[in-house]
Amino acid sequence: MADNPKTVLVVDDDPDARDFLTTVLTDNGFGVTTAKDGNEAIARIEQAKPDLVALDITMPEKSGVAVYRKLKEDDQLKTIPVIIITGVSDDFKRFISTRRQVPPPEGYISKPVDHEQFLSMVTDLLA
Amino acid sequence: MRSEALRLDNLPDFAMENAYYRYFDAMPCYLTVQDRDFRIIDANQRFREDFGETENRFCYQVYKRRSEKCEVCPVERAFWDGHSHRNEERVTCPDGKEVSVLVEATPIRDQSGEIVAVIEMSTDVTQLKSLHKQLRRSQRRYRLLFDEVPCYISIQDPDLCIVEANRAFQEDFGSCLGRKCYEAYKHRTEPCAPCLVQETFEDGEFRTREEVVTSLSGETIHVLVTAAPIRNGQGQIIRVMEMSANITQVRELESRLTSLGLLIGSVSHGLKGMLNGLAGGMYLVDTGFKKDDPQRVRKGWDTVQRNVGRIQSMVSDILYYAKDRIPNWEPLSAIEVAEEVCNLTESRANNHHVQLTTALDPSAGQFEADAQAVRSMLVNLIENSLDACRLDDKKSDHRVTLRLQGLPDHVKFEIEDNGIGMDQETREKAFSLFFSSKGTEGTGLGLFISDRIARSHGGSIDLQSEAGVGTRFIVQLPRKRPLQQEPRDPHPSERETPDGRQSEDRSGSR
């Protein structure tokens, strides 16, 4: 893992939230890229395919939902596991219930994030 | 009876007298025959039953228990002028019961035409009188109810002319008798379509609808209108009564409740974001200590402080939103307000690595305002600018500038930043309740409340912004409080109605 660390793309509009997850991941040997909105997230994914995406749902510009849809509808990208991270549980339920053709995300964590839970979820998904 | 009367003519005198006596006894009223001294010389059965045997007693003794004749006596007048006289009296029965009677005194003449006696007929009208009284009382009560009921009532004819209106109606819509309903209620020149009253005239049905009307003073009032037919004796609808309950407060409450629901959603969302920030800060502090990395501890601690600050300002926004404050007016020095606001926001600017600069005109002078409200408005705007800088990763140097300038009638505060700026949509919605471009961070309250504070001071906030370049808020506050904010006259003065008459003062204290 040290030679070729797995990379996680952290997508959140709140810089504190990005810093938090970035630090947790780098402390544990993961490579991290960040994006502050949906557009930036898509640009990052197109630049270099990450191994996992930690995705906030409620963001300005392009929402997390649109990023998720793009990921799961693209044959090249749909195998990338996604952990949805959001403070709005209702949004998440609505998001899942209205998108039957899109598979559910691999993980879901609500804010405030428990870093140990987040870390074990990332580790499991990338094992 | 008439046929019997005809036959009476053929009877001998004594038989006829007997027959008349039977009628006399059977009359459904008190009958007495009195001489010139008001002595009762004969009485019918009904009288005897209620007043006992009264031979040789005087009328006034029996009827009124008086020792001498009454001042006004129809019997006396009948003796005097030979005509019949009527009068209304109250008499007392032997059992003490008071009875109202309608008295008719008719002279009886002998064959020479001389008046020998007067027959006095007293009809018991006690029940009738009490019915009259009840009727008058209930009419008064209905009038009172009509006037005092807490809704607007008008009665309209088929041309929608108001023929009657209660007090509440006349107070809020003016003296409008004879005017058209739609003129009084809606300041229109033609009937509304559809018209509730017209529909009720057509089919006689009760109907209810919600309407928005405008009072004399220009106030918009939400009303729940009910139209009810009024029929005449033949069952035809001659009028329609329109009753309008003022439900403005209910509607306002409803919209406040809706906003409250939105607020709770927005707040809990914002709070989760801030708690997440705190969790991140704590993680950094915690692991910083473990790794003996003071820089990481410092960074974590800054994050904790920043998020505590965000929670604090959100709580104060909520408190401000929860209360509709009336400004606590006092003369303020503009430069002092600006300096205080800088002190309050300086450490937060440092945390965000944003340079806070000022350009304050020391001779900007004084203005009238609520100190606390104006301070929180300016702090809100500056914090908004600090956030805009923090979220911008395109530029390396960030700056927020507070400017103060004194104008003849206004003081002008400007807050300018070189942060992320706003696109058109964000600019347009910037002051809307619960709109936030900050995703998880904003509650959508700050700018909404700032705008409300400026308006409540008779001022305004203008916004200039360009995405990627920066934002400038321009706050203008009048030096003098707006007129309607002058201390209220506890007894509002009489106001002119459209027809030029003065309406009554509602407080009734004049």
pLDDT in tens, B116-165: 999 999 998 888 888 999 999 999 999 999 988 889 999 999 999 999 99
Pick the residue of B271, B298, B392, B440 with the most A CBs within 10 A to test the interface with A by mutation. Answer: B440
What whole-number distance in Å separates Cα of residue B222 and Cα of residue B245?
8
Contact assignment for B287 to A14 by CB distance below 8 Å: no
Q: Which DSSP helix (H) or strand (E) runs through B50? A: helix B45-51
Which residues have CB under 8 Å from B5's CB, separation 6+?
A: none
- Provide the mean pLDDT of chain A: 85
pLDDT at B435: 65
Residue A88 Cα, gap to closest chain B Cα (Å): 6
pLDDT value at B19 more than 90: no
Whether residue A126 is contained in a domain is answered as no
pLDDT value at A90 more than 80: no
- Indicate the number of domains in chain A: 1
CATH code at A34?
Answer: 3.40.50.2300
pLDDT at B116: 92
pLDDT value at B503 more than 80: no
Contact assignment for B391 to A13 by CB distance below 8 Å: yes
Measured in whole angstroms, the distance separating CA B361 from the mean position of its chain's CA atoms is 48
Question: Closest-CA residue in chain B for A15?
Answer: B391
Whether residue A28 is contained in a domain is answered as yes
Residue A87 Cα, gap to closest chain B Cα (Å): 5
Q: B87 pairs with which residues across the strands?
A: B103
Contact assignment for A60 to B278 by CB distance below 8 Å: no
What are the b/e assignments for A82-100, b being 16+ CB within 10 Å? bbbbbbbeebbeebeeeee
Contact assignment for A56 to B440 by CB distance below 8 Å: yes
Query: Confidence class of residue B373 from pLDDT cuts 50, 70 and 90?
Result: confident
Residues of B with CB under 8 A from a CB of A: 265, 268-273, 275-281, 283-284, 287, 296, 299, 303, 306-307, 390-391, 393, 437-441
Strand stretches in B141-203, DSSP E: 152-156, 162-165
Contact assignment for B276 to A19 by CB distance below 8 Å: no
Question: Closest-CA residue in chain B for A116?
Answer: B283
Mean pLDDT score, B70-76: 90
- The CA radius of gyration of chain A, in Å to the nearest whole number, is 13
pLDDT more than 90, % of chain B: 41
Across B99-108, B339-348, B407-416, least confident range: B339-348
Residue B282 Cα, gap to closest chain A Cα (Å): 9
Pick the residue of A10, A12, A13, A14 with the most B CBs within 10 A to test the interface with B by mutation. Answer: A14
Contact assignment for A112 to B440 by CB distance below 8 Å: no
pLDDT at B335: 92
pLDDT tens across A39-54, in order? Answer: 889 999 989 999 999 9
Query: Confidence class of residue B434 from pLDDT cuts 50, 70 and 90?
Result: low
pLDDT at B248: 87
Of A19, A27, A58, the CB nearest to B303: A19
pLDDT at B6: 45
Domain span holding position A44? 7-121
Chain A, chain B: beta-carbon pairs less than 8 Å apart: 87
pLDDT value at B71 more than 70: yes
CB of A55 within 8 A of CB of A83?
yes
The residue type of A45 is: I
Whether residue A127 is contained in a domain is answered as no
DSSP calls for B268-331: HHHHHHHHHHHHHHHHHHHHHHHTT-HHHHHHHHHHHHHHHHHHHHHHHHHHHHHS-PPP--EE
Residues of A with CB under 8 A from a CB of B: 12-17, 19-21, 23-24, 27, 36, 56, 58-60, 87-88, 90, 110-115
Which residues have CB under 8 Å from A24's CB, separation 6+?
A: A115, A118, A119, B283
Share in percent of chain B as helix, strand, coil (round to 5): 40, 25, 30
- What is the ipTM score, two decimals? 0.87
pLDDT at B502: 37
Mean pLDDT score, A47-72: 82
The residue type of B53 is: E
Measured in degrees and rounded to the nearest 5, phi and psi for residue B252 equal -65, -40
Question: Closest-CA residue in chain B for A90?
Answer: B265
Question: Which residues on chain A are in Cβ contact (under 8 Å) with B299?
Answer: 19
Mean pLDDT score, B220-242: 93
Question: Which residues on chain A are in Cβ contact (under 8 Å) with B268?
Answer: 87
pLDDT at A96: 62
Residue pointed to by tokens 């003071």: B294
- Of B361 and A63, the structure prediction assigns the larger pLDDT to B361
CATH 1.10.760 fits B252-324, yes or no: no
Contact assignment for B287 to A23 by CB distance below 8 Å: yes
Contact assignment for A16 to B307 by CB distance below 8 Å: yes
pLDDT value at A28 more than 90: yes
pLDDT tens across B359-370, in order? Answer: 999 998 999 998
Question: Which residues on chain A are in Cβ contact (under 8 Å) with B276?
Answer: 14, 16-17, 20, 87, 111-113
What whole-number distance in Å separates Cα of residue B378 and Cα of residue B386?
12
DSSP calls for B63-121: HH--SS--SS-HHHHHHHHSS-EEEEEEEE-TTS-EEEEEEEEEEEE-TTS-EEEEEEE
Residue B420 Cα, gap to closest chain A Cα (Å): 12
Mean pLDDT score, A75-102: 75
pLDDT value at B506 more than 50: no
Across A46-50, B45-49, B438-442, least confident range: B438-442
Query: Confidence class of residue B11 from pLDDT cuts 50, 70 and 90?
Result: low
- Of B304 and B372, the structure prediction assigns the larger pLDDT to B304
pLDDT at A8: 96
Residue A104 Cα, gap to closest chain B Cα (Å): 22
pLDDT at B221: 87
Contact assignment for A27 to B287 by CB distance below 8 Å: yes
pLDDT tens across B154-211, in order? Answer: 999 999 999 999 999 999 988 888 999 998 888 888 888 889 999 999 999 999 998 8
What whole-number distance in Å separates Cα of residue B37 and Cα of residue B117?
10
pLDDT value at B509 more than 90: no
Of A12, A23, A56, the CB nearest to B284: A23
Most confident of B208-212, B280-284, B351-355, B371-375: B280-284
Strand stretches in B192-282, DSSP E: 207-214, 220-231, 237-246
CB of B220 within 8 A of CB of B227?
no
In CATH, which of 3.30.565.10, 3.90.190.20, 3.40.50.280, 3.40.50.720 is domain B326-493? Answer: 3.30.565.10
- Provide the mean pLDDT of chain B: 84
Query: Confidence class of residue B89 from pLDDT cuts 50, 70 and 90?
Result: confident
- Which token pair is B38? 């008001």
Which residues have CB under 8 Å from B229's CB, separation 6+?
A: B200, B201, B204, B205, B206, B237, B239, B240, B241
pLDDT value at B88 more than 50: yes
Contact assignment for A17 to B393 by CB distance below 8 Å: no
Which residues have CB under 8 Å from B489's CB, separation 6+?
A: none
Pick the residue of A10, A16, A21 with the most B CBs within 10 A to test the interface with B by mutation. Answer: A16
B458: left (phi over 0), alpha (psi -120 to 50) or beta: left
Contact assignment for B277 to A17 by CB distance below 8 Å: yes
Start-end of CATH 3.30.565.10 domains in chain B: 326-493
Mean pLDDT score, B473-500: 60
In CATH, which of 3.30.450.20, 3.40.980.10, 3.40.50.10300, 3.40.50.1820 is domain B149-246? Answer: 3.30.450.20
Angle at A24 between CA A23 and CA A29, to 5 degrees: 90
pLDDT value at B497 more than 50: no
CA distances from B205 to B83, B229, B232 (A): 57, 7, 16
pLDDT at B264: 79
Whether residue A1 is contained in a domain is answered as no
CATH 3.20.20.70 fits B2-128, yes or no: no
- pTM over 0.90? The answer is no
Contact assignment for B440 to A58 by CB distance below 8 Å: yes
Question: Closest-CA residue in chain B for A89?
Answer: B269
